[in-house]
Each structure stands twice: as structure tokens, then as C-alpha cells.
Amino acid sequence: MTVASQTFTGIDAGKWQRIKAAVLAKTGITIGADTGEAGAKGLTIQWHYMFATNELDIALVKREWFDPSEETIDTDIAELVKAA
């Protein structure tokens, strides 16, 4: 799988906390640092939050064959970030 990241801007510290909570609630993945990789329930993501520029890069690294398509997961990630 090719790892294509999505970049989101305007992510202040409060929104970053809400995103982490939303990712945990939706996927079971705990984001415990500003940069990392973690997985749960067949999904693995990578992320890098840049506090100085209020940017978040996040990418789907792995999904199981029975999970939705990469495009669907990327759309879900984008919606989750926007809603946080």
C-alpha cells in the first residue's frame, strides 16, 4: 500500500486533543505523542502534529482486507478532523 498522507491546517492544541479523543473513540487507536504510528482493529495510521505551524499530517499505513477501501478511510479521517 502506498502511504499518502493528508495535511490539515489550523489545528491548535485544543483541536489536536479533540482529534486524539475522536480517533480513539472511532478506531481504538491511542495517539499518545505528537509523532508516531499505531494501530488497532486492523488499521494502522501514522501522524505528525506540528505545534509551531498548527499542521497535522496523518496517513493510513495499513488496513485489513475486510476494512473499507483506502478512499473511504481517508474520507472518514478527513471528516473526523473537521468535526473535532
Does residue 3 or residue 58 have the better pLDDT?
58
State the pLDDT at residue 46. 95
User: What is the model's pTM?
Assistant: 0.86
> pLDDT tens-digit profile of 2-57?
467 999 999 999 999 999 999 999 999 999 999 999 999 889 999 999 999 999 99
Given the candidates 3.30.70, 3.30.1380, 3.30.310, 1.10.287, the CATH classification of the domain at 5-83 is: 3.30.310
State the pLDDT at residue 48. 97
State the pLDDT at residue 1. 44
Residues 6+ apart with CB under 8 A from 28: 40, 41
Q: What angle do CA 73, 45, 3 make, to 5 degrees?
A: 80
Strand order of the β-sheet with 35-40 is 5-9, 55-62, 43-50, 35-40
State the pLDDT at residue 72. 86
Q: Which three cell numbers stand for residue 23?
A: 480517533
State the pLDDT at residue 31. 96
CA atoms within 13 A on the CB side of 46: 8
